[in-house]
Structure 1
Amino acid sequence: MTAFASKATFSAAVPFAAIVAETPSHVAAREALLDAAMGPGRTRKSSEAIRTGRLPAEGLAFSALAPDGTLVGTVRLWNIAAGTRNGGSVEALLLGPLAIAPDRQGTGLGGLMMRHAIAEAARLGHGAIVLVGDPDYYVRFGFSAAQTGALAMPGPFEPHRLLALELSALALDAVAGLITATGRFALDTVASPPVVAKAA
């Protein structure tokens, strides 16, 4: 199993308070941030078919807040079956979307949020994280397409952008098939209480 640290270098030029567990009060600001950072096409992505109507994985939805309480970053992880192995589904997480407010991009906040999310997923005992994204960006966090060649997303996707990170050895060994949602439906439960992670 790989060890992960939740701290990362962060530019002191941009005020930043903390990464906290997402709460219902963040929803409107999160949706506005996603629209600003990713544009209207974000809802047509194949990952959205997995997230729609579901709750994020327990304890794995995070908001970055500026000192005045403004939401400036968001990242969430979702319970999935990463295909099958020997006839049984393989539990994993789907990461996304990761979004940073336009005026905070390039400051290191995205990296800080990624490392925090990975560390928390490992701490909670998850075996692997899958995402669809830019390989040049996510390779720094250990993601690659080495274990995803036989996996598929629902709907159109670019295979070279389907990446994974194993948090425990061989978690995705010999997996194949369609990635499907396994998480709780949105009406099943309420959000978890906040957990704060201070920036370095």
Structure 2
Amino acid sequence: MSHTLIAEKPEYADAIERVLSRAFGPGRYAKTSERVREAGAVLEHALTRIALNGEGEVVGVCRIWRVEAGEPVFFLGPLAVDPSEQSAGVGFALVRDAVAACRASGGAGVVLVGAERFFRPAGFTVVPAGRVSLPGPVDPARLLWVELRPGGLDKVHGELRAPKR
């Protein structure tokens, strides 16, 4: 099945929430990544990507948030695909497109919590020990980042938090 990837728009808010609920269930709010978002991360609608199926229904989302850790950086997540569409490459296509949008915006890098095996083909690697932390526990092997421009991550250091206004 063919999917169309577009930037997030307000009219899709309810459909995105349905996808997130179907993909993660009620436990999604318990994740440490949620603490980053609750602490004042700024949702970047223009960089976030959603996937629409052939009928125009939202079947996936890859949200991008503006945060900082010593320097401005993006935070990716949640990445969710409706269970009926999983294993069709939608998730990876969303990640690839969202990262490209971040790069085109002039961003320095993207940080996320996830499985290296899944995200490595999009250029993500494990964050070196002690460079970045989250406001809660996270498995260091699942804390990943990708540099969007040469030297973009050189000064990124510390806890992910709300960006300076």
Length-normalised TM-score, structure 2: 0.91
Match of residue 66, structure 1, among 53, 68, 75 = 53
Matches within 5 A, 1:143-154: 143-147=124-128, 149-154=130-135
Q: Which has the higher contact order (CA 8 A, sep 6+)?
A: 1
Match of residue 41, structure 1, among 13, 27, 43 = 27
Match of residue 105, structure 1, among 86, 91, 106 = 86
Match of residue 81, structure 1, among 57, 60, 68 = 68
Distance in 1 (CA, whole Å) between partners of 2:144 and 2:19 is: 24
Say which SS state the counterpart of residue 94 (structure 1) adopts.
Answer: strand
Paired letter, 1:158? D
Q: Which residue of 2 aligns with 1:198?
A: none
**Higher mean Cα deviation, 120-129 or 59-68?**
59-68
Distance in 2 (CA, whole Å) between partners of 1:138 and 1:54 is: 22
CA deviations over 1:95-126 (Å, ceiling 9, x no partner)? 01111111111111111111111111111100
Paired letter, 2:14? A
Say which SS state the counterpart of residue 69 (structure 1) adopts.
Answer: coil
Say which SS state the counterpart of residue 126 (structure 2) adopts.
Answer: coil
Paired letter, 1:155? G
Greater than 6 Å deviation, 4+ residue runs: none
Q: Which residue of 2 aligns with 1:4?
A: none
Check whether the contact 2:42–2:163 (CA below 8 A) recurs between aligned residues: no
Check whether the contact 1:72–1:104 (CA below 8 A) recurs between aligned residues: yes
Q: Which residue of 1 aligns with 2:141?
A: 160
Distance in 1 (CA, whole Å) between partners of 2:120 and 2:88 is: 18
CA deviations over 1:150-189 (Å, ceiling 9, x no partner)? 21100111111110000111222254321112287xxxxx
Q: Which residue of 2 aligns with 1:3?
A: none
- Provide structure 1 residue ranges, at least 5 long, that are not aligned to the other structure: 1-13, 83-88, 185-200
Shift of 1:67: 2.0
Identity of aligned residues (%): 37
Check whether the contact 2:60–2:81 (CA below 8 A) recurs between aligned residues: yes
Q: Are residues 80 and 55 of structure 1, via their aligned partners in 2, closer, same or farther at CA, if it must alter by over 3 Å? A: closer
Q: Which residue of 2 aligns with 1:173?
A: 154
Distance in 2 (CA, whole Å) between partners of 1:149 and 1:108 is: 33
Q: Are residues 40 and 130 of structure 1, via their aligned partners in 2, closer, same or farther at CA, if it must alter by over 3 Å? A: same
Say which SS state the counterpart of residue 98 (structure 1) adopts.
Answer: strand
Q: Which residue of 1 aligns with 2:13?
A: 27
Larger Rg, first or second structure (1 or 2): 1
